[in-house]
Amino acid sequence: MIQQSDLKEVSPQPIANEGELPDDIVKDNSKKKKWLDFMQFSNSQINIFTVLRYVQKTSVYPLAVYFPLHSINTFIVPAISPNYTPNEVLMMVREVLPSPELTTKMLVMSALVHTGSGFLIRVLNLWRNRKHPKQENTETFIHENSQDNSQKTIGLVGGVSGFLLGLKKRFSIPPQVVSGYVLNTALAFHLLIMKFGPSLANIDIDFGYVKWILQNNEKTTKWVFGIVPLATLITSGTYHILAGSCQYLNFKSLSSRRKWSDLITIMTVFGGVSLIRLSTATSDIFGSRNYNAIFSALHLK
């Protein structure tokens, strides 16, 4: 039996040094530390956030090449000459790009990777903030007291569409993220009507199909499948792509970002004018039967 006199006070130090621990325990602890460093965005140069941001940034390269060509053909040309020129320019663009099928697959894959990596970044950020709530509160306090005007905090120039600077500058979800979610929905619907449907019906389409939708006598076809989704695609796509380009190019000053905001406004206006011009332009009435077959293939009629 141990007597009280046999008990001695010892200094608070580990029972065994790291070198005295079994190798399997040391290796296991080392692996856990590396994994936690990778997941918790420590000061290490390589972690899950830097990898995902790199993937998100590089995944937009195919879209960055395609958008200027497509925007000229859909935003500018129809606004100037909506009758026959859009189809002529469309044929020229198709000569420059790979086959329509391959182009669509590349763009869809690019959009999926970009969206998926961005979604993972947001999920991991929420997880990290729940693990370290004090750090989140501290960062919020610093932002509020330093009048943070970064694009991630207030959007491109602050406020709704950049015109209400000072009235509502901060958003719980960045406008860039919101516009991305809206764009994905509009883009998926656009692919359904403009790509998947014609493919099912085995019909080649051009701007005559767009005019047929916009000039259709049925209000559902004209508004639900034409004007509303195309207007949503124009506004969300223009904002998300151009504001994202501003962010990637690291334009931080409000004066530079206001110029990009002006460009977004101009492009959006051009897109709206193009919709109006295509709605009243000369259309090919002989293709209406084929176009009805597209909607029938999609079970929309």
Same-domain pairing of 152 and 248: yes
The reported pLDDT for the residue numbered 288 is: 74
pLDDT of 219-259, one tens digit each?
A: 999 999 999 999 999 999 999 999 999 999 988 888 888 89
Asked if residue 4 belongs to a domain, the reply is no
CA neighbor of 29 nearest in space, from 21, 39, 38, 41 = 21
Q: Are residues 202 and 281 in the same domain?
A: yes
Q: Are residues 253 and 281 in the same domain?
A: yes
Domain-ending residue, one of 146, 179, 208: 146
73 and 208 in a single domain? The answer is: yes
Domain assignment of residue 225, yes or no:
yes
Task: Provide the residue range defining the domain that includes 252.
Answer: 60-96+148-297
pLDDT value at position 155?
Answer: 67
Kindly give the parts of the chain with pLDDT less than 50. 18, 26, 41, 136-146, 161-168
DSSP assignment of 53-121 equals HHHHHHTTHHHHHHHHHHHIIIIIHHHH--SSHHHHHHHHHHHHSS-HHHHHHHHHHHHHHHHHHHHHH
Q: Is residue 219 part of a domain?
A: yes
For 150-189, write each residue's pLDDT tens digit: 766 666 765 554 444 344 456 677 888 999 999 999 999 9
Question: What is the number of domains present in the chain?
Answer: 2
Q: What local confidence, expressed as pLDDT, does residue 140 receive?
A: 45
Are residues 127 and 172 both part of a single domain? no
The pTM of the full predicted model, rounded to 2 decimals, is 0.78
- Among residues 131, 146, 161, which one ends one of the domains? 146
Q: At what angle do helices 175-191 and 100-131 cross, to 10 degrees?
A: 150
- DSSP 8-state assignment for residue 43: S
pLDDT score at 37: 56
Same domain, 139 and 155: no
